[in-house]
Structure 1
């Protein structure tokens, strides 16, 4: 009987169902914690879910590759979820009036600053070219960061880590920094969060305000596009 239980436990630990349920439950705990803390900046559901899932798979001795392959279903739905961000933008399309030109100037400049600062910081601390190419696309959404890193010769898994960390930091600290700088225009706040912290920052912006979330989603997409175009040129100039 004990041997059967052991076999069942082993099967469960390597079952996609277990990993999917673990991820969803961890995110749900993060949502509950955020509600109970009154929306505290550190109680970001994504951050809470990462901590819980990391602790559980580490305690159980589960290899990350097994967890990653077991959650392909969730990863698949990230694409449609990202596309769905166009819905709030469509509702706020009238807010684009008089804002298109500043936005089209700010997004490329933001991409330049993001890539250039990453390259210069890594070089200042003695990082090699491989690390530069891995960190450079950190402000794009994770799938794009992985694709860019793979194309330019970086390390895609590590690029994903940097993108997620930047997204969490932006979602946690971004609104406070914008308040400190007295930036209250919802459109400008959304552009800043989407450009700096992509999907995770956009989810935070959607909680703050629908207009802010809509512009964050737009900024996330345009920043990914601008970074994809400008990054190879900037690497040539800076390295």
Structure 2
């Protein structure tokens, strides 16, 4: 019987690449996101190209009622979730703290922290009962370095790293693995979302740099989840070769 992986934010970028990678490994996948048409398209691709089953759940992780309603729809045969990939997250704006939007701050906090916690708590219940599971939280270099114009986004990813460390400690006795993956620049929809669809601003983020791809991150997740039972990868910090940290980038 195939193992089951639940991936949040599976409709694009790292979430989509990770879903495709896990499908190749033979995981049945529960894919979640806000864009139903993309979920259906991905489901069709997965089922046509791999001998796996796919369950789609369309909801906004910021809404606890919708999240709970979606999780309650998971059929019994899908409830033994082996891997949870907490990928759903975003940055909204790059204004300095004195000029930032409260609505954007709330959007980031509700998605990156509250949504991750609420969904994780529900999935962890089953993992603790079975004394087995693996949680992979997608963080960021922003969870390690704080940069200008990123105060609340950076705070949210610092929280993800702290939550990951706390999960690792609290779930140790249940044989549940916990991992944080913190990428630097990754060329996905991330910057386009951050700058409200402004393609020029999004392109400028990666100007003169060969950024990471979503598949690069999916490859690191594949490594993490395929380690032997006695091995837990606590943290991965992965950067483009031209980026040392959030402050230093060599642009050609």
Give the TM interval when normalised to the shorter protein: under 0.3
Q: Which has the higher helix share?
A: 1
Query: TM-score scaled by structure 2?
Result: 0.26
Taking structure 1 as the reference length, the TM-score comes to 0.27
**Considering only CA atoms, is the larger Rg found in Structure 1 or Structure 2?**
1
